[in-house]
Structure formats: structure tokens, C-alpha cells
Structure 1
Amino acid sequence: MSAARELSQEKVAFIEAAIEHGVLLFGEFTLKSGRKSPYFFNAGLLYTGSLLSSTSKAYAKILSSSRIPEFDVLFGPAYKGIALAAITAVDLSRQGREVGFAYNRKEKKDHGEGGVLVGSPLKGRIVIIDDVLTRGTAIREAIEIIRTQPEAQLVGIVQLVDRQERGTGSKSTVQEVEEEFGVPIEPILNLQDIINYLESRGGYEKQLGDIKEYRKNYGIEL
């Protein structure tokens, strides 16, 4: 089977839109870890209606066809996760699936309704919607918020991109969080998807070489 056929039409469309709009970039980028990466996915550039629509559809599809079990509320960690969870809730509603949406503030509000949490009460089965797990610090903060709610149960996490690279040890941050908290983490895209796409399209020989060298140095065993 060719690399092109290994990707669904939705993944191909999402990657192409990301490249076209500069969300998926190739070059040299310094990550939080200090590593020099030959590619970078900037979720902050998902700001047009068409891009947000493609993104919400991709999240909704993952939630309907992956290891993520049934859930009641989508939780979007501040800041990028807020918009991602909101648009996903809208897309699910259009499909006839009504779920709650909640997010946290970075700082506790001491007037009005007050508190750190906004939106749906964190009750029942919760799925976190976020962009990329790098060090895992932000996702652990989100998980801790959910664990402080006595009627909430975290059942899964969906992220935009799994870089499939090692954290501090031999496992990736995604694998570490999955094992630590016992919940599945599903990505819309992973590094192998991006490699498959570039191989199928041609004209990306340099980018492919740089990415494969980076994966050789920092990637996890698949």
C-alpha cells in the first residue's frame, strides 16, 4: 500500500490546509525542550473560518472513531484549548451530539461569578481537547483541575499533533501521560502521517531528509 493510501482524505485535506496557511512550517525551530526541530505546527495560526471548520471536523471525527469512550463534557485548557474545545462542541452539535464545553482561567476571577472554571460544570466523563503535548506540564495542570472535581472522571485526551518523540526518557510525553493517568490520548495527526504525506506528494526531499534525521535522533520506537 502506498503512503498516499495510508492517509484518510480528512488527514490529507487537513495537512494541505495547514501547509497552505503556514500552520505547518518547515525550517529550523527551537522547541521548549531546546531541541532544533525541522518542522513546527503553530495552532495559533488556526484563525480563519475555513481552518477552524476543518479543525473542528477533524476533532469530531477522532472523537467518533477512536479509542476515546463516551463522554459528557469537552474541557479546553487555557489558552489554545479553549477555542479548540468550543469549535469541536459546535461541530458535534451539528451532528446531533450535544455535549458540554468548559475551560479554565489562568488566574482566578474574584468578582462576578468568580472562580477558575467557566462553562459547563465538570461532571461526568470528561475529554480534554488541546494542541500539542510537549513537556506535559500544561496537560498535567488540566488533569489536576479535573481531578479536583468530585463528580468528574477523565476518560480521554485529543490533541492536534503527536510529535512521536522522546521526552526525558525512552518514551514520549504522550506515552508517559497515558501510562501515568490510564487514559487514551488520540492525535488528529502524528509525525508519521506528515512523513507519509510528504513522501506521497514529492518535492519535499530536503524537508523529508531533515525530519527523518531528527526522528532518528529523538523519535520513539514505533
Structure 2
Amino acid sequence: MTEGNGKRALIDALKACGAVKFGDFTLASGKKSSYYIDIKKASTDPATLAVIAKEAAKVIKGLDIDCIGGVVLGGVPLATALSLEAGLPLVLIRKSEKDYGTGGRFVGEFKNGSKILLIEDVTTSGGSVIDAIAAIREAGAVVDRVITVVDRESGAEKNLSDVGVKLVPLVRASDLI
């Protein structure tokens, strides 16, 4: 997790851009929630996206990483911004194989054994990112760390740990609500 002024700046930016909403919501996991973290609001706001990329880049500084990965669609702007901030190649992971054009599940290049760091928008159970990790590993690359902008603290950390991946939240839901 990020510390100090950077974390505070990220919390303030997420609130200021309207990413934190209260009401009755159904999450992608099917669970009901009294709050919603709309990271798409944040990732389409240039100032907030820049704060996210800067904080994520602090987390990966000094790590042995070959590529930054993001799951389509929510992870695309985040991974792109972090790729630019860190100067690392970008890999996008589709939810399923594309059966037209050049096909495939990945956009971008990586080699067997490449170390890919994934960045996610919001993690609840971690299901969608675990699916992407399985596909990346099946293709011969390594994933051992996922950065999430916001962890809802609803099981993703343990579920990722169970598949040998460390979850690194930039902020936790309890920091925002």
C-alpha cells in the first residue's frame, strides 16, 4: 500500500472526481453493496489517472518486471498510464480469445518466462484477475503481483494468495468510506 502524501493525494483525487458513490449497488461479483467505487470515473479523468500511475510506479520501483498488464476493459487505461510512467511495455488481456482479425487473447508481446505485473481497477473477490493470471501463465509468462487501485477487502487478497500472487492495494475501501 502506498504511504503518506501520495496515498492521501490518491484518496482525495478519487473522491474529487466522483469515483466514490453511496447508494444500493450490485457488484460484478453479484454481491450487494451500499457503496460503489467507480474507477472508470477516475481512469477517464487525466489528473486522477496521473495520480494513480504515479502511485503505482512507486510500488514497482526496483522490481524485476518485463511488462505491465491490464485486463480489458477497466485495466486498459490504468495499465497504459503505468506503462508510460514506468517505461515498460504494455500487454492487454482480453476476457476471452478473439476469433477474428489476428485472434488471440493478448494484445502486446511477451516471451516465455516474461514477468508481467497486472494492474486492476477494483478488486472484490479477485475472480476476473485470477482468470487473466491463469491465461498468462498458460501462455508461459509469470505473474506474482497485482496492483489494485482499490481493494474492497472482500476476499481478493486471500484468493490471489491462494494462487501464489501478492495483492498490492494503492488504497483500501476502508480508506475511502
Candidates 164, 172, 175, aligned match of 1:190:
172
Candidates 39, 42, 53, aligned match of 2:38:
42
Higher helix share: 1
TM-score (norm 1): 0.70
1:54 and 2:43 aligned: no
Is the Cα contact below 8 Å between 2:124 and 2:153 reproduced in 1? no
Is the Cα contact below 8 Å between 1:59 and 1:88 reproduced in 2? yes
Candidates 68, 82, 88, aligned match of 2:82:
88
Kindly report the root-mean-square deviation, in angstroms, between the aligned alpha carbons of the 2 structures: 2.3
Please identify the structure whose Cα radius of gyration is greater.
1
- Note the C-alpha offset of 1:9: 1.0
Following the alignment from structure 1 to structure 2, what is the Cα–Cα distance between the partners of residues 142 and 34? 19
- Note the C-alpha offset of 1:7: 5.5
Following the alignment from structure 2 to structure 1, what is the Cα–Cα distance between the partners of residues 65 and 14? 28
User: Could you say which residue in structure 2 is the equivalent of 1:109?
Assistant: 98
- Note the C-alpha offset of 1:45: 1.0
Identity level (%): 30
Residue correspondences, number: 174
The one-letter code of the counterpart of 2:7 is: K
User: Could you say which residue in structure 1 is the equivalent of 2:13?
Assistant: 17
Q: Which structure 2 residues correspond to residues 70-149 of structure 1 after superposition, within 5 A?
A: 70-93=64-87, 99-123=88-112, 124-149=114-139
- Note the C-alpha offset of 1:14: 1.3
CA offsets per residue over residues 57-104 of structure 1, 9 Å max, x none? Answer: 121122228xxx4211111111111221111010112xxxxx221012
- Note the C-alpha offset of 1:33: 4.7
Is the Cα contact below 8 Å between 1:125 and 1:153 reproduced in 2? yes
- Note the C-alpha offset of 1:185: 0.8
TM-score (norm 2): 0.86
1:31 and 2:30 aligned: no
Q: Which structure 2 residues correspond to residues 2-13 of structure 1 after superposition, within 5 A?
A: 8-13=4-9
Following the alignment from structure 2 to structure 1, what is the Cα–Cα distance between the partners of residues 111 and 39? 25
Is the Cα contact below 8 Å between 1:158 and 1:187 reproduced in 2? yes
Candidates 151, 154, 159, aligned match of 2:148:
159
**5+ residue gaps, structure 2:** none
SS at 1:22 equivalent: coil
Is the Cα contact below 8 Å between 2:157 and 2:166 reproduced in 1? no
SS at 1:10 equivalent: helix
